[in-house]
Structure 1
Amino acid sequence: MAETKCVALVHEEFGKPEEVLRLQEVDLAPLQQGEVLIRMEAAAIHPSDLGMVGGSYGHLRELPAVGGREGVGTVVEVGSGVPGSWEGKRVRLPEGPGVWRSMQIARAEQLSEVPAEVPADQAALSAVNPTTAIRLLSDFADLQEGDWVVQNAGNSAVGVAVIQLAKARGIKTASLVRREELMKPLQEQGADLVVIDDRSAAEAIREARGDARMPLGLNSIGGSSVLNLAQSVSDVGTIVTFGGMTGEKIRFPTRHLIFNDIRFCGFWMDKWNQKNGARAQQDLLNEVYREILNGSLKTPVEKVYPLASYKEALEHNGSGRFGKVLFGNV
């Protein structure tokens, strides 16, 4: 095996990523039967990645651990018993060992091929946020053409995917944001209405949708923002919480629970994957790839950093950006 070492972002304790992550050289074991060597092309930086490093996510890796959950790479070498046709293929990086590394060894049976036509940056952002957006739009309300969906954090990667996928289905979106400079970029992504997440937001949303149905609200912030969602959705509407960016408790509006029969529930993509299995996960990924290739879905990417510039990348990721920040072989 030509490559005997790789570099990886490792943490030996849980804490703030910028404080606990270290770029380390890691030995690569010789390829065993049925194994392949993958060179990382692109790897995402997600809020869940930071939660795993910080120790607050729903499941954590044993320490020491390599960060990162989602990425893609190219198979550069195959071990005995693996068809040579895998060499040169773009594949998903198995999540378990952590993907913020320049090289990874994986079992051939773990490999999930990515269509060559899908750009590496989009492939590296396809398994967490777009899949979540599809499930949110598909599983919680019988959405029909002309219906509305309201969401907070409309500028998040899931929020942008919801806007794009809803537009392709003839569904309108109202998106709440906390900064005025985010309004125009979301409108350019296809948002039908973008409003500042303040006390006047619900009235503006109700006026825009008129008599049209708004059966679904999507919450990834928490706190008082949920009140605007509850005041915007139609009677018997459903509000799905799939994130809690502020860390604040959700404020349940008793009046709307009683008089408007609003329903609240939660969603976690990891649990969906565990429940539905590998075949369903692959089918969902294939749907994402089709949406990317037909032009209905494109996650904005702001910048790609080499692993060695991880501190700069993390700082950029925490700034007032719009697109995603990635690691890559640049």
Structure 2
Amino acid sequence: MRWTGFSLNFLWRTPARSDRLCLVDTTLAITYHEHGKPADVLRLEERPLPEVGPQEVKIKLLKAVINPSDFGMVLGSYGKLAELPAVGGREGVAEVIEVGSEVTHLRAGDRIRFPENAGVWQTAAVVPAKDVWKVPADVDLDLAAMAWVNPPTAWRILRDANIHEGSWIVQNAANSAVGLFTIQMAKYLGLRTLNVVRREELIEPLKGYGADVVVTEDSGYEKQVKALTDGGEVTLAFNSVGGESAIRLVKALSRGGTHITFGAMTFEAVRWPTRYLIFNDICLKGFWLDRWYRDNSPERIQVMFDNLFNLMRTGVISAPVSATYKIQDFAQALEASTSPKLGKVLLEP
């Protein structure tokens, strides 16, 4: 992100009763009342919780994740925005602590996805029971918190591309969460990966996750693809960076390959190399998980998560955690999340 370098001069609204965080009548939330740079507009607030209605549940946060799209929502640049004032955060896992009188499919103690619409960066919430997705108790807690954005993004792009076993994938930002899940899922599906990173020190860790080939952005890899893949066909490219990095992926694709953009970390414009589109018949597409969720039935979404949870519990996919911070220390957490790292930064109550 371009606005790195937090000064820690966040707008703090100190909770009047911070000693009552263990109770469930209030929530400690990271909020924003206007769009802007997170360092300027995020603040910590204590808010009262409403009574639990007949079709609602009260939940407490277990772990929350900091994702690039969270910053896009705060900045006001994301594809969908919350109504202001809003609580930050889109992804996390919670525990049900109270159930409404008409709720029959949930009970206290159930582990669930913290509903995105409520804003996840808060210690507790009262939410509609219909918005809750259950999480198996035997899935690692950190993985359960990270289950809702990056694993399904990698899984959907891989599965919906309909590429055959033995094909090669090339991806930039291969050390990102999506990148690491893509490496592991591709291996599981019989696919091979050519992975692009910016720092040499990431090469060996990525190989430890099953990466076949790891190169740096400035290595000229796009001119060496045949040698790097032993003549293999590179049929799919994952782009989450943009700019020149995205163009190099286009050049690395084999004839008829597909280039899928699902992020733009650098915010740099891309001037597509037209000759590759014409003479190599490259297909440019986009993917947005939010739209996929809207376009598919709850039954199909559940099937996908059943598959993903099984991959997690059997150890096929895993993910490192760079650091975990208390919600009260959110300024340091957001600073850490924009620094070079391998693994997500998490928040906890």
Partner of 1:157: 177
Contact 2:140–2:313 (CA under 8 A) maintained in structure 1: no
Matches for 1:66-81 after TM superposition, within 5 Å: 66-81=87-102
Aligned positions of 1:153-302 closer than 5 A: 153-198=173-218, 200-302=220-322
Task: Provide the residue aligned with 2:147 in structure 1.
Answer: 126
In 1, Cα distance between equivalents of 2:237 and 2:226: 13
Deviation at 1:278, TM superposition (A): 2.3
Partners of 1:11 and 1:65 within 8 A in 2: yes
Q: TM-score, normalised by structure 2?
A: 0.91
For the Cα contact (< 8 Å) 2:170–2:249, is it kept in 1? yes
Shift of the alpha carbon at 1:255? 1.7
Match of 1:65 in 2: 86
Q: Is the CA contact 2:226–2:232 (under 8 Å) kept in the aligned structure 1?
A: no
| Separation (CA, whole Å) in 2 of partners of 1:40 and 1:76 | 10
Q: Distance in 2 between matches of 1:293 and 1:204?
A: 38
For 2:227, what is the secondary structure of its paired residue?
helix
1:296 partner SS: coil
Aligned runs of 1:14-53 on 2, under 5 Å?
Answer: 14-53=35-74
Contact 2:31 2:88 in 1 (8 A): yes
**Identity, % of aligned pairs?**
44
1:313 aligned residue (308, 333, 336): 333
Which one-letter code corresponds to 2:259 in the other structure? Answer: I
Deviation at 1:110, TM superposition (A): 2.0
The answer on whether the counterparts of 1:43 and 1:68 sit within 8 Å (CA) in structure 2 is yes
Distance 1:199 1:321 in 2: 21
**Residue type at the aligned position of 2:140:** P
Q: In the alignment, which residue of structure 1 is the partner of 2:346?
A: 326
Instruction: Work out whether residues 99 and 106 of structure 2, in 8 Å CA contact, stay in contact via their aligned partners in 1.
Output: no
**Total equivalences in the alignment:** 327
Contact persistence 1:199–1:228 (CA under 8 A): no
Equivalent-residue separation in structure 2 for 1:263 and 1:17 (angstroms) = 35
Q: Deviations over 1:140-197 (max 9, x none)?
A: 2x32222110001101110110000001112110011111121121111111111011
CA distance in 2, matches of 1:300, 1:294: 16
Equivalent in the alignment of 1:112: 133
Query: Structure 1-normalised TM-score?
Result: 0.96
Distance 1:87 1:134 in 2: 31
CA contact (8 A) 1:90 1:115 kept: yes
Q: Show CA shifts across 1:248-299 (max 9, x none).
A: 1123112211211111111111111111132222222221101101111112
Q: Residues 241 and 287 from structure 1, CA distance in 2 versus in 1: closer, same or farther, beyond 3 angstroms? A: same
* Distance across 1 between alignment mates of 2:203 and 2:292: 32
* Cα deviation, residue 84, structure 1: 8.8
- Secondary structure at the aligned position of 1:304 is classed as strand
> Aligned partners of 2:201, 2:45: CA distance in 1, in Å?
38
Alpha-carbon distance between aligned partners in 1 of 2:116 and 2:84, rounded to the nearest angstrom: 15
Q: 1:103 aligns with which of 117, 121, 124?
A: 124
Letter in 2 for 1:164: Q
SS in 1 for 2:277: helix
Partner of residue 323, structure 2: 303
Map 1:134-149; keep pairs closer than 5 Å. 134-140=155-161, 142-149=162-169
Q: How far, CA to CA, are the matches of 2:240 and 2:306 in structure 1?
A: 25
| 1:94 equivalent in structure 2 | 115
